[in-house]
Structures are given as structure tokens and as C-alpha cells.
Structure 1
Amino acid sequence: MHLLSFLRKSKTSNETSSLYGLDHAALNLPVPPPSMWMNLGYWKDTTDFPTACAALLDQVLITASLLDENGDATSHSTEKRLRLLDVGIGCGDQSVRILGYKRRMHGGVAANDNSDLDGNIKDMTAPLFDSYVGITSIPVQAQFAKQRIESSKHSQSNLRAQIFCADAANPLSWDTKLKTSLSAAPPSHETEENWLLALDTLYHFSPSRAPLFKYTHSTLHASIMAFDLLLPTPKPSFWARLLLRILCLFAGTPYTNFLTQDEYTALLVDAGYDLSKIIFRDISDDVFHGIAGYINSREEVLKAYGLGGSKGMKKYGGAGKLFGWWARTGVVKGFIIVARA
């Protein structure tokens, strides 16, 4: 109390107002935060960032027919095994959500264990994926993700979840432990499905997505589900593409990763995927307006609590303007892509 009194007497009236305003919010913020999501989000029915980020993940799995329109896992036989390689997991929020997905199963179980009084087999629930391998290239995020998963309520029922720090863009660089954690045997279409998930990350891959796509098809025999950024057809004007190229230099993102739908399709077909089994779903209208508006309003909210003006928020302020440009002009589009093996 004596220290606070001294500070109060030694400040100007404006500074005193700030000290005894709202900026003590910094002393109340939970560390670590309850969520550490980081993607562009799906903003159709929300203005909340973590909710939008989780919704984007759900929309990818809905498009892949692994979740229904309500976000519930679709029904599978108990004989069916689903395995997932998740690249670009960030701090593990999407991992925890994925490990919490439950699927309804039917058939293939002993009647004395899972039957009603009339001997009919009852539906069961189990984790959607029988095994989960997550990859991030940032060591501190890999460690944080491991801690998040271990402390989550789903950890005990998902003991096969594994997290690795590796460059997902270069499968040849993966160590033996990571490679052996993934099944190299072609799955039986009746009993097994392998999937690659890439949520809002592939456009960062250097030099391109091609090595991962080829490895996914030829070695993992896996289907792909992703949210990615594409160029519209026809391509934007020369000046718009030049500006995008300059922004990519600052962001450290290869400009050559920005492809049209036809070019992206050719990349998948070259990796071995069947043209008839590739789906593109444009969700741009529910992505860019929402994330731009959220970032632009976030600075004002933080300022009210004396937390605005930080270096980090200035960086995201620039991103907000970029996403707003994409929303207004359609220079870049947000697509969900599914390619079945």
C-alpha cells in the first residue's frame, strides 16, 4: 500500500488516471492463456477468435465427410481404423480438439459386451482417430503442444498421440522415430484410412507443397484435407500480383505457392491423386472479412485496458489490413481442399 501511494503521488494526473484505470488487467491475465489458436478462422456464426479457429478445423473435416454438418463425427464400423498425420499444429489447440472428437461405431463387437437385453448390438463411441501424429517446425510450440495434450482431459484415452518437431515440407528430413510412427503399408480400404491434415499452413511450405503431397500419396497412401490459399481464376492484375509478391517477401512465404485451382489440381494429380476424387470448396466470404474485422477491433479493445500499442499487435494490425484487402478484392481466396487416395 505504501508503494502504491508513493507511485500515485509521483505521477501526473493523466498517469495516475491510467494507473488506477483498467491497465491492471495485465495482472489478471491467465498465463498461459486458455487457448493459443492461430489460423484465419471460419467466422460465419461467431465474432470470437478461438471459436472461429475451431470452426475452421471443423469445416475441413466436414468437407472430408469425417464430421457431419452438426460437427459430430460420422458413424463407422468398429473394424474401421482412422489414422491422422497433422502438419503445422502450432501450440496444439487443434490437436486437443481433434483428440476430443468421438465417433459412433456399430457392428464388429462381442454381443455379450455391447448388446441390449434382446441381443442387439449397441452403438459405441470411441476417438475419431485411432492414432494421431502432429508436426510443427518450431521447438517451443512442439513442447507447448505436448504439455497441452498431456494436461487435456482427452490424454488418457488417446495414448497413441505423438508430437514431433520437424520440417513438414521436407519428408526426407524426418528422423526414423517420426517415420516409423506412420504406417508405410498400404491400408485396406475396407478397414483402414490414412489422412493428412494441413490447417492453414501449406502456403508457408518452402520450396513448395509438392514433396509432402508426393510422400503422402506414395508412402503414406493417405488422403489429404486442408485449408489453403489460392489465386482466383482469372488471375489478378499484374499490379495486384506484384504487390502480393512484395508482401510475400516480407512475410517469408514463397510467392510460387499461390496457385490457381487448375494449377493446384495439377500439383495433386502429379503427386498421384485421382482428378475425380479432388474437391475444392471456396469459403473466402466466411474467412477474410471476419479475421480482418477482428484484428482491427482487437487493438482498440486492448488499448482500453492499457495493453495496446505492443509490437505484436502492430504486426497483426498489418495482417488485418492485408486480409481486408483480400476480402475487398478477391486477390487471394480461401479454399478447403480434399483429395482422396
Structure 2
Amino acid sequence: MFLLLFSTVLLVALIFWLSKRASADPYGEFHLALNKLPGEGDPQTEWLNMGYWKDTTVFPRACEALALKLAQAAGCKHGGQVLDVGHGSGESLVFLLTHPSVARPSQLTGITSLKAHHKRSQMRVARLEQPVPVALHAGDAIYRPGCQGHPLDPSSEGQFDTILALDCAYHFQPRTDFLRQAYAKLRPGGSLALADICFAPGALKTRWTRCVTAVLRLMPRANMVSTDEYVAQLRGIGYADVRLEDVSADVFPGFIRFLRTRGMGWKTFGALLAVYAGAGARFVVVAGRRA
């Protein structure tokens, strides 16, 4: 039975990676199709997260709901200096600058890894013609020596009141470096909040989960920690008032149901996520404060 299940996982992973390679830029503009509503011309949003589906079945609304939940967990304050990490093509930037339920920052900084997303974000923010200064950077979320102008450069003078990472930090290599760098760049009383993926306590000790994560490889091995270990990492770095909320039940099922309506390629990706969630993956909103 175990070999049969393992073979199924391997087949799903193979189909996924083959479909992924068929696209020249799988992380470029595929999300635009997900944002398009029935009867709509060009999509009005460019969200790129799994969404929070508690009160909706519509992808853009679910994505906005997750962004709002993250901002609320961070306790964004009016006039704060905010860093948005991994903002994709800029929808979370637009959200922070315009949503009526989010305190408006005095300055907004962003960084995203794809140059195409960086350029598109610059264009979209410029179109808003709003008064908040915005500084956008293209590059890895983690500062590496020699990377000039990086917002987490420890030698730079700037600090932040809020640092956000919406559905992306599980990709950082490794995430712990980002958590440490973010802590160093927070002002006293400043907060970090992440919508992220970790694992249920004990799940990573099971043979099934070890095999699934080894085959699917959706995140670096160093980032595969339990919810308890995640909290301990944050506290060990120095974060105070660490809070972790498991929102898996309002993220994975709704997103997977949505993907099943989007064609075979997306059904395959949904099947992969279902296997991952069944192996103990947990979608969480986690936050901590620099004392």
C-alpha cells in the first residue's frame, strides 16, 4: 500500500514539473488568468497567493482577504514605514496604498525577485498617483554581501515599523536568515508578519511526509519545520509576542476547489497541494514584535 501511495505522489509530481517546464516563465504572468472574473475583459487585479476562502469562492476576494488578515496580524499603524517582501507584480502594494481598512504608511518599500514583476509593480504604483513615497527593489528577499540598495542591508540606516511577507517566505533560502535580517531592521516595537507554510507537530517524523516532501520539494529542506519549531525559531531570534494561527482549513480546500475549475494543469497543481496538505502541511499566519 505504501509503495502504491508513493508511486501516486511521484506521478503527480512528474506531471506537475512537466507542465511547469512547458512554460517559458511559469512564475511570470500565469496569475493574471487566475484573477480574471467571468465576463470580465482584462483582469482588474493581479493577486498571487493562495487566498483566505472563509467567506468567498472568488479568487481575487480570497487573496485580498488573506492580505487583510496579514496586515491585521502585523498591526499596521498609520504613518508607519512598511516593507513588503515578495510582492509579485504589485497587487499587495496597491492594497497597502489604497485599501480602506489598512492604515496608510508614510513610506512603502518593496522587493520582489523577478525583474518583470519589479517593472510592472513600478508602473502600477505610478498609475495610482498617490502621495506616499514608494521605493521598489528587484532581488532576493535575503540580503547577500555586495547587494547594493537591499532594504535588509545591515549597513543601511533605514528601519521599518512593519515587515510583511505574503505567501512567499517558505521559498526563502533559508527562511531563518530572512527572519534574523528582518528582526535587525525593525524599529523597537516594530512587527513582522508572514502568511506561510510549515507542518503539523510530529508530521515530519512520519515516513509518508518525509517521502512526500522529498519527492515534491516545494520548499527548501531547512524551511520544513513544525508549527512549534517555527514559533521557537522566532522567539530564539528575539521576537516577542509571537502568535501563530493555523488557517489551513480556510486556505487549502478553497484554493484547491478553485484550481479544479481552471483546467487540467491547474487541477494537477491542486492535486499536488492536496497531497502536501494531507502530509501535514499547515498554512499559518504568524507574527512577532521587536521589543
Q: Which TM-score applies when normalising by structure 2?
A: 0.77
Change (3 A) 1:96 1:183: farther
Q: Quick check: 1:225–1:337 contact (8 Å CA) kept in 2?
A: yes
Q: Quick check: 2:83–2:164 contact (8 Å CA) kept in 1?
A: yes
Number of equivalences: 248
- Written as runs of structure 1 = structure 2, the 5 A alignment for 1:177-196 is 178=151, 184=157, 194-196=161-163
Q: Quick check: 2:259–2:267 contact (8 Å CA) kept in 1?
A: yes
The aligned amino acid for 1:93 is E
Change (3 A) 1:196 1:177: closer
1:127-150 Cα shifts (integer Å, max 9, x gaps): 621110010010000001111111
| 1:217 CA drift (Å) | 1.5
**Of 199, 205, 211, which residue of structure 2 is paired with 1:242?**
211
**Alignment gaps of 5+ in structure 1:** 1-27, 67-75, 105-126, 187-192, 300-312
| 1:241 CA drift (Å) | 2.2
**Of 73, 80, 83, which residue of structure 1 is paired with 2:81?**
83
Change (3 A) 1:64 1:218: closer
The aligned amino acid for 1:83 is Q
| 1:173 CA drift (Å) | 4.8
1:149-182 Cα shifts (integer Å, max 9, x gaps): 1113xx3222x111110111235453137468x9
- Written as runs of structure 1 = structure 2, the 5 A alignment for 1:1-341 is 30=41, 33-66=43-76, 81-102=79-100, 128-152=104-128, 155-158=129-132, 160-176=133-149, 178=151, 184=157, 194-206=161-173, 208-221=174-187, 222-236=190-204, 237-248=206-217, 251=218, 253-274=219-240, 277-299=241-263, 314=265, 316-327=266-277, 329=278, 331-341=280-290
What RMSD over aligned residues (CA atoms) do the two structures have, in Å?
Answer: 2.6
Change (3 A) 1:215 1:177: closer
Q: Secondary structure at the match of 1:175?
A: coil
Q: Secondary structure at the match of 1:335?
A: strand
Q: Secondary structure at the match of 1:233?
A: coil
The aligned amino acid for 1:273 is Y
1:219-261 Cα shifts (integer Å, max 9, x gaps): 333421110101101225212221122101xx4x313212112
Quick one: distance in 2 between partners of 1:295 and 1:270?
A: 38
Quick one: distance in 2 between partners of 1:209 and 1:42?
A: 23
Q: Quick check: 1:282–1:333 contact (8 Å CA) kept in 2?
A: yes
Q: Quick check: 1:218–1:272 contact (8 Å CA) kept in 2?
A: no
Runs of 4+ in 1 over 6 A off after TM superposition: none
Q: Quick check: 2:231–2:244 contact (8 Å CA) kept in 1?
A: no
Quick one: distance in 1 between partners of 2:170 and 2:221?
A: 9
Larger radius of gyration: 1
Q: Which TM-score applies when normalising by structure 1?
A: 0.66
